[in-house]
Each structure stands twice: as structure tokens, then as C-alpha cells.
A and B are shown apart, each in its own frame.
Chain A
Amino acid sequence: MIEHPERIDQFKNDIAAMQVRDPASGRDRLFARGGLTLMIIGVIVGIVGYTLSNQTTNPLAQTDAVIVALIGISVSIIGAALFLRGSLAAFLRFWLARFIYEQKAQTDRVVDRLGS
């Protein structure tokens, strides 16, 4: 005989209301891999831009090469952001939880000390 059947009903409702992510999409992994790829591509494009600018004395061509290099840097920054989103978010969440806990514990220690 179950003493609290309402907990089971609540659990069923909670699970039914849960947004289940399609595992096939693997969004976090996609972000991490895509971000890493963009970072590498960005660096390569930057180096290409630098090389192009070195190979000419024409100021217009050099300006174009600088723009190419800037695009490369932008792509790298976007890639880094996506990589952080995909790979480090879980770790940072854990770190934040731990930080909050430590802060709470420290506050309690200070309050205990002040009270004694």
C-alpha cells in the first residue's frame, strides 16, 4: 500500500511537461565542434590576410588584405564564443554553484563567529 501516491502523479505531470531535447541534434557538441572549426579557419584566414598584405606594395591591395585578416579575426572570436557555449557552459555552471556554496559557507562562518 503506497502512503503518498500523489508524489507519483506529480512526477508523471512533471515528466510530461519536460522539454525533452532531441538527442540526435547534439546541439552542445555541434556548438563545440563548429566553434573549434571556426577558430581554426579564422586564424588561417588571418594569416592569409597577413601574407597577402606582405606580398604587395599596392596600398589598395593591402587594405583588402587587412579586411580579409579582420574577417578572419572576427570568425575566430565567433568560433571562440560558440566553443565556450558548447564545451565550457556545463563546467562554468558547476563552478558557479560551487562558488555560491563557498560564499554561503563563508558567510555562515562569519555570522557564527560574530554571534559567539
Chain B
Amino acid sequence: MNLLEFRNVRAAYDRIDVLFGIDLEVPAGSVVALLGPNGAGKTTTLRVAAGLHPTTSGDVLVAGRRVNGTAPEELARRGLCLIPEGRGIFPNLSVRENLRMMTYSGVSLSAVEDESYQRFPRLKERRRQLAGTLSGGEQQMLAMARGLATHPALLLLDELSMGLAPIIVEELYAIVAQVAREGVSILVVEQFASTVLGVADLAAVLVHGRVARVGTPAELQDELSKAYLGG
């Protein structure tokens, strides 16, 4: 069964069309990479899935249910989590205080901290530090820790690698792979494909608001070259 499905989804910003009828499926328990050049509509696709951006036509299905127009907080409450580009942490709060923001659902702070520090030991060392003073990789870890504290069933990751050193990106994707093994379905958007293809079960190439190709990472290498380099 698909945990997330787009059926001929179109979306626009005012009168400017961005998505031109995309079809995409995220099977339960899998990692799907959505790749493509800048401006292809990748982030908009995630925003549509999270309920943050309306569709102009087409259907968005979550766990087989059409959810067009559902408030993002309703989807989040039930287990859909978006970690946005730029991480979305509170820079003037400490790591601990950022994690405390995830206790709104009734989970104790100690439970959130235990789980987060177990997954990201470096955050424990930085727990009293202001989030804005963390390195880019640590900020991304904090964003992921905060998202995972909600125990999502469907995780949407936007440009996880943005501005990070390759070794940190590999470290983060190792955690993504572990999270996927735990049963979380993941749709990850990336502009730079090399690392994400190592953990993805499926990949789709989005070009000019259209899904140009869907396949296994191995099948898509050629398609990616064309998407990025033309021809």
C-alpha cells in the first residue's frame, strides 16, 4: 500500500503554475528520493503533501485517503512530519528548549530528550547551547530529532544536505536509513543526488513541474545526467 500518493496533482503560486499534473507514489516503509534541478517544484511537492500549499487540481492521498484541503496540523497530529528546507528550528532557544517544543503532544521532555540524544549523541553535548550557534550539521540533527520526536509514520525531508559537508550528509543519511528500517516511510527531496540514491528504494526525477522518470536509483543515473546537464 502507498502511504503517500499524488494523482495528477497541479499546484500554482497565484497564476504561475508550478506543478503540472504530477503522479508519484511512496510505498509504506520505503525511502523515495525526489530529485531535480533548482525550480523544478520539489519543495512545492512536499508542501502540497504536508497540507501547506493547496492543489489547483488532482488528488493527494495519504494512507489511501484523499486529504486535499486538510489542515497541516491535522496531518501532523496523525503522523505526517515535514522537516523543511532551512531546518525551521528556533535559533534563540537552546537545544533543550527546542526539544521541549515537541512535548505539546503530551510526551514528557525526558522521553523526547532520551530518544533524541540516543539518536544524536552530539546534541546531548550541546543541549544548553543556543540552536542558532550550532553548526549546520548539528542544526539539521536538531531539526531531525524534533521531527522524529513526534514518532511520524511519514517523514518529508527537504534538502537535508543543504550547506553541509559531505561527511555530515553521509552521517545524516545513515540515520535516515535507520529511521526507514524502523518503519517510517520517507519522501526526501534533494538537489544533489549522489548520497540520497544510496539509501533510496525508489527515485523520481522532477523537471519543470513534471515527473520525468520514476525508477530504482540504478535505473535513474542516466536520466539524472540529462535532467541536470540537458540533452
Residues of B close to A105: CB separation below 8 A: 97, 100
User: Is B3 a contact of A2 with CB atoms below 8 Å?
Assistant: no
A15 to B76, CA, bound (A): 11
**B21 at interface, CB cutoff 8 A:** no
B181 in contact with A3 (CB, 8 Å): yes
Q: 1/0 contact trace for B68-92 toward A, CB 8 Å?
A: 1111001000110000000000000
- Find the A residue at minimum CB distance from B151: A7
The total of Cβ contacts below 8 Å across the A-B interface reads 71
User: Would you call A11 an interface residue if the criterion is a C-beta within 8 Å of the partner chain's C-beta atoms?
Assistant: yes
From A1, A20, A101, A104, give the contact of B67 (CB < 8 A). A20
Residue in A closest to B67 when the chains form the complex, CB atoms: A20
Who on chain A is nearest to B71 by CB? Answer: A21
A112 at the interface (CB under 8 A from B): no
Cβ-neighbour of B182 out of A4, A12, A14, A104 (below 8 A):
A4
B196 touches A (CB below 8 Å): no
Determine if A14 and B78 form an interchain contact, defined as CB atoms under 8 angstroms apart.
Answer: yes
Q: Are A8 and B28 in contact (CB under 8 A)?
A: yes
- Determine if B154 and A12 form an interchain contact, defined as CB atoms under 8 angstroms apart: no
Q: Is B153 interfacial (CB-CB < 8 Å)?
A: yes
Q: How far, in whole Å, are A105 and B100 apart by their CA atoms in the complex?
A: 9
Q: Which residue of B lies closest to A98 (CB)?
A: B101
Judge whether B121 is part of the interface by a CB distance below 8 angstroms. Answer: no
Task: Specify the chain B residue showing the minimal Cβ separation from A4.
Answer: B183
| Chain B residues, CB < 8 A from A16 | 63-65
Say whether B62 faces chain A, with CB atoms less than 8 Å apart: yes
Report Cα–Cα, A101/B100, bound state, in Å. 9
Query: Do B104 and A3 touch (CB < 8 A)?
Result: no
Q: Is A60 an interface residue (CB 8 A)?
A: no
CB contact under 8 A between A7 and B78, given known A15-B67, A20-B70, A23-B69: no
Q: How far is the CB of B99 from chain A (nearest CB, A)?
A: 12
Contacting B181 at CB < 8 Å: which of A1, A12, A97?
A1
- Which residues of B are at the interface with A, using a C-beta cutoff of 8 A? 1, 3, 28-29, 54, 62-71, 74, 78-79, 97, 100-101, 104, 151, 153-154, 181-185
Additional A-B contacts beyond A2-B181, A11-B154, A20-B69 (6; CB < 8 A): A1-B181, A2-B182, A3-B182, A6-B183, A10-B79, A20-B67
Q: Which 5 A-B pairs have the closest CB atoms?
A: A23-B69, A11-B153, A15-B63, A14-B78, A4-B183
A interface vs B, CB < 8 Å? 1-8, 10-12, 14-16, 18, 20-24, 97, 101, 104-105
